[in-house]
Structure 1
Amino acid sequence: MRILLSSTPAYGHILPLLPLARAFRDRGDSVALITAEAMAPVVAGEDIEFLPAGPDSLAAVAEVLRTTGHDLWQGVTVEAEAEFFAGARLDLGINEAVAAARAWRPDLIVAEHLDFVGPMTGAICGVPVASLAYGPALQPESVDATAARARRRYEARGLAYEPARWYLDTCPPALQHPGWKAPDSRITLRPEAHRNPGPMPPAPAERGDRRPRVLLSFGTVYASPQLINPLLRELLTQDVDVRVTHNSATPDEFDVDPAVADRFELVAFTPHAELVRDVDVVLTHGGAGTVLGTLAEALPMVVVPLAADQPIQSERVAAAGAGIGFPMGEADPRAVAEAVRRVLAEPGYKSVAAQIAAQIAGYGAPADVAEHLATALAR
């Protein structure tokens, strides 16, 4: 079979697709990813073909500003966010995506749930679509806003706007919103902490009687020294080691007292599966992939949301009892450091994280989901 992945051009949207992509590839299927050209490095080394199509995020943000007057860099509303995903990306990218798909000839399109280019490409080309949801299901107001924009564009082409044939759900029940009802097309898919292809490198050697270790990871967009330094200073007043991820910073950009510098570790972009193997708590911005990958490893967390759906992740983690979550804009560094201390000191957070990890472990393995979809397509 030929499986086409389709995604918004951002790490946090592409990485949740990779476990299923690898499962299809291991079956012997051909797999390709279609998104903006700038994201090609994400699948380098994955034996996944890359099909460049559509705008990058900067171009889509500029298009939203042009058509609505709203600058997404200055704040996000439901309507502006919907215009980004289901308006600007379709307007700027659908023709290029359809041309690439027709040339590649997929049997199935798997689109992450905020990508509307893949589903519309499937509708135009007559290819079935599976939607892969990461994190809690989208709230009704977001669903309505995006659907309204997408529907107009479908109708302009004489197409019926319909849901994907399969809903691939990676979110454990403990994190779903109260009252959420699963669609009939739901198939559970086990989320995984992101890892590189191939075997995992050996785990680092542990020293005896070590301090608790905190992973401070704010993803690929928000990990600036200016944001991290106040948190780092407060954390290092406690008897903990701190591992900090960054994109392109250097150690001298971080305000670390030389007296405690041996408790500070700075690492460049590293797959989450490697980062969490020897930590006790994760301090994160609350990206869906980071949250699910952390809970899959039975680790509690403290969530400091900064944008997008991160306040939702923060609220759901706190409601489940798997950590402490802050409202956006209300995370004083001292309060954050105190939250980390509490999560380390109180075993209930770790216990709940382990319970959620057990829920995740009961979800369908990527290999089983790939086989299920292949069988359904064959029928």
Structure 2
Amino acid sequence: MRIILAATPATGHLNPILAAARVLVAQGHEVALTTASAFRAKVEATGARFVPLPPGADMDLSDTAGLFPERANLQPGLPQLAFDFKHFFIDPIPAQFAGLERLLADFPADAILADTMFGGCLPFLLGARARRPAIATLGVSSLLTRRRDRAPVGMGLPPASDEITVIRYANMAAEVNMVLLDPLRLQVDAVLKALGAQSLPMPYIEALVGLPDLFLQPSVPAFDFPCMELPPNLHFIGALPTSPGEPLPADLAAAIGAGRRVVLVTQGTVANHDLGQLIGPTVQALAGRDDVLLLIATGGRPLEAIPHPLPANALAAAFLPFDALMPHLDLFVTNGGHGGVTQAVTHGVPLVTAGTSEDKREVNARVGWSGVGLDLRTDAPSVAQLRDAIASVLDDPAYRRRAQAMAQAFAGYDAATLLCDLLEQTVRAHPVS
């Protein structure tokens, strides 16, 4: 098959698409991948052809502070979500769509596979069917489909256990619709109209999942709420294989082999402008614990941004080889990036999570609900909160058992095979005219 891959230019969106590229190239498919110019080297390393997004979409969202300094003044929650949806995902739709049209003229593909939030596919899905190949999307976070308990999207609420909670959730959903989702739908419809496409037939967030010919969710049902309404085009495929990455450096391997419990903390690559939110208090919480080795990944920030001196039991780096580290970890402390959380649970590593920005409320809610860790439900936990939560997860073997059971659930899926088979089935069912 000839396949176009398309990725929103942010690490958490690009990495799953890169994983899909490696799988598809290894299976002999011809692959072109379009994303921001900043990621050319990463794309070419997969063996796929790199195609830059056109101006208007060719930006590196890893540097949100530089691109949108005004975002720092917004509180996590609905105001920040509204800003992110507009500037990160809706405004680039015309440029993304134009880029895909040009790429299709040069590279007539059997299918397009994009990350969930790559809105450049929407004009194809809401235009003439004869103008497009099969279109599939790949999930890059927890599912944001409609829920039977009527909970609002993005708030990270656990499944309702009684009718009173269902009523409360419905009232909250009405407010979220009014403040966030209804205005987003109007914004997207205006963009689609300008591009000659039909209006959305359903709410914007639901359309991202329900409109494509195929939706692939790189997770398992056991790690999602049972109250989710799943459209017929949706398939769980398990975790996509990660890149081989680098081996553990010798000094790090020696430190890990010293017999101490190993804890890794990170704030990822997006919500890491203030390392005092999670990394700083974690350093303080574990300082003086001779039985613990604390590893710190700053997500590319300079080590000087860590707001406290490193104690003797801590090692820090801008980036660490997560895949090589995971089998050695006793605990992962994170603000809740979907990719890192998935890596942890597929290795049976329990978690402590603390993050509410972007999609993190939803990701972290599933950590707490499933029992694979503790969700502190804040961006800035105190030293005492972290000390108690870390001690609880390290000392209670139930968290490790639940994480290992979740790893077994993931092991029951062959994501690479499912990705290829489902794409091929979709292409056969939706051939290019």
TM-score tier, shorter chain, comes to 0.7 to 0.9
> Could you tell me which residue of structure 2 aligns to residue 166 of structure 1?
214
> Could you tell me which residue of structure 1 aligns to residue 308 of structure 2?
255
CA displacement 1:247-277 (0-9 Å, x = unmatched): 14247956346xx42x212233234212312
Structure-to-structure mapping, 1:111-126, within 5 angstroms: 111-120=114-123, 125-126=131-132
Cα displacement (A) at 1:376: 3.7
> Could you tell me which residue of structure 2 aligns to residue 87 of structure 1?
90
Question: Distance between the aligned counterparts of 1:61 and 1:206, measured in 2?
Answer: 35
CA contact (8 A) 1:213 1:242 kept: yes
Question: Distance between the aligned counterparts of 1:270 and 1:103, measured in 2?
Answer: 39
Question: Distance between the aligned counterparts of 2:72 and 2:133, measured in 1?
Answer: 35
1:181 to 217, 220, 229: 229
CA contact (8 A) 2:241 2:416 kept: no
1:241 to 283, 293, 296: 293
CA contact (8 A) 2:262 2:330 kept: yes
CA contact (8 A) 2:281 2:381 kept: no
CA contact (8 A) 1:225 1:249 kept: no
Q: Secondary structure at the match of 2:358?
A: coil
Q: What amino acid does structure 1 have at the position aligned with 2:73?
A: Q
Question: Distance between the aligned counterparts of 2:108 and 2:140, measured in 1?
Answer: 26
Cα displacement (A) at 1:47: 1.2
Q: What amino acid does structure 2 have at the position aligned with 1:245?
A: A
Q: Secondary structure at the match of 1:265?
A: strand
Identity in percent: 23
1:108 to 103, 111, 127: 111
Question: Distance between the aligned counterparts of 1:301 and 1:193, measured in 2?
Answer: 21
Q: What amino acid does structure 2 have at the position aligned with 1:377?
A: V
Q: What amino acid does structure 1 have at the position aligned with 2:99?
A: E
The range that moved more, 241-250 or 172-181, is 172-181
Structure 1, unpaired ranges of 5+: none
> Could you tell me which residue of structure 1 aligns to residue 32 of structure 2?
32
Cα displacement (A) at 1:29: 0.8
CA contact (8 A) 2:248 2:321 kept: no
Question: Distance between the aligned counterparts of 2:47 and 2:123, measured in 1?
Answer: 26
> Could you tell me which residue of structure 1 aligns to residue 262 of structure 2?
213
- Relative to the length of structure 1, the TM-score reads 0.85
Question: Distance between the aligned counterparts of 1:256 and 1:330, measured in 2?
Answer: 19
Cα displacement (A) at 1:36: 2.0
CA contact (8 A) 2:297 2:316 kept: yes
> Could you tell me which residue of structure 2 aligns to residue 50 of structure 1?
50
> Could you tell me which residue of structure 2 aligns to residue 133 of structure 1?
139
Cα displacement (A) at 1:28: 0.7
Structure-to-structure mapping, 1:49-68, within 5 angstroms: 49-53=49-53, 54-56=57-59
> Could you tell me which residue of structure 2 aligns to residue 337 of structure 1?
387
The 3 A distance-change label for structure 1 pair 174 and 148 is farther
CA displacement 1:217-268 (0-9 Å, x = unmatched): 22123445544233212222333101111214247956346xx42x212233
Q: Secondary structure at the match of 1:100?
A: helix
Structure 2, unpaired ranges of 5+: 147-151, 155-180, 201-206
CA displacement 1:65-121 (0-9 Å, x = unmatched): 8xxxx9433335243333235421214443234323432322211111122124435
